[in-house]
Amino acid sequence: MGASTSRGTRAGTPADGRGDLPLLVGIARQADYWRTAYQRTWRGSVVSSFLAPLFYVVAMGVILGGFIEGDPDQLEGATSYLAFVVPGLIAAHAMQTAVGETTYPVMGLIKWQKVYDSMLATPLQVPHLVGATLAFVGFRLVTTCAVFTAVLAPFGVYASWWGPFLAFGAQVLTGMAFAGLVYGFTARLRSETAFGVLFRLGVFPLFLFSGAFFPVDNLGAVGSWVARLTPLWHGVNLSRMFALDNVTWWLAGVNVAVLVALCVLGWFWSVSGLQKRLVA
């Protein structure tokens, strides 16, 4: 009886009606926590979120790009290597930001700081916790991608006035697709040692071989098709098409559909993983 009562309380579904809290209300009730947490930690993310990627763009797009001929036939419609690499790099950075925010920080909330345990002692439920965490990740993606878009727009990397806005949306969507999937992965881990495998065998190869730095056709017939099956390629391709105003609309629809499907899958994967970890 005691164990059953404890699980019911932690699940936020006791007989007093606390389980009827709407999802958006539960997420909004955590706004103070996430605002306070970010105010205390944002300085630690300045270098990794803004300065380091900006140096990447300067090194790869400006310095190295000066030695690469801007042939639109070879660079998917881009007239310079800078214009080619920037949309892909921002999409890849969105992936890295999302993965970074849903690995060690989420493990801390679950295992080390026990923040989620204290939240579940209130009317909040697992979907509220997942939703608020992913909303914070979305905030991080919006701010980092927006800064890069604003800084790089004057360099002529966008071919139309609407390109930065649609490319920005594609980049945020890319990050959110990874956020849900990695959150669900983290929620099922008992030890953080698996993060090393995730970064070395997952994130780093995707960063290099999903079209951010060079057209995937350079990987050969088999390699290019493997690259096109990765989630990051869909984000990179979508971001670049919008930025260069070189859109194949049916392909853009496929890219969006894949990323949205991964967001939905990631949501259910995350909720079920945290539910099993903390409640079941």
> Regarding predicted confidence, which is higher, 20 or 180?
180
* Tens digit of each residue's pLDDT (9 = 90 or more) over 224-265: 999 999 999 999 999 999 999 999 999 999 999 999 999 999
Residues 132 and 28: their CA atoms lie apart, in Å, by 8
Give the count of alpha carbons within 13 A of 275, CB side only: 15
CA–CA distance from 79 to each of 13, 26, 83, 171, 246 (Å)? Answer: 58, 48, 7, 21, 12
The pair phi, psi for residue 78, each rounded to 5°, is: -80, 140
Residues 89 and 239: their CA atoms lie apart, in Å, by 10
Residue 161: strand, helix, or coil: coil
Angle between helices 249-278 and 126-152 (to 10 degrees): 140
Find the length of the chain: 280
Does the structure show a pLDDT above 50 at 18? no
* Tens digit of each residue's pLDDT (9 = 90 or more) over 33-66: 999 998 888 877 777 667 776 777 777 766 766 6
- The answer to whether 76 touches 246, Cβ cutoff 8 Å, is yes
Q: pLDDT-derived band of residue 111, with 50, 70 and 90 as boundaries?
A: very high
How many structural domains comprise the chain?
A: 1
> Which pLDDT does position 10 carry in this prediction?
47
Q: Which amino acid is at 252?
A: A
Span 145-174, average pLDDT: 90
Residues 141 and 127: their CA atoms lie apart, in Å, by 21
Span 76-87, average pLDDT: 84
Span 95-121, average pLDDT: 95
CA nearest to 206, candidates 175, 248, 251: 175
Span 19-26, average pLDDT: 86
Lowest mean pLDDT of 47-51, 110-114, 126-130, 242-246, name the range: 47-51
* Tens digit of each residue's pLDDT (9 = 90 or more) over 163-220: 999 999 999 999 999 999 999 999 999 999 999 999 999 999 999 999 998 899 999 9
Angle between helices 81-101 and 163-187 (to 10 degrees): 30
Tokens linked to 153: 């727009």
Supply the range of the domain harboring residue 117: 2-278
Residues 44 and 58: their CA atoms lie apart, in Å, by 22
Angle between helices 31-41 and 126-152 (to 10 degrees): 50
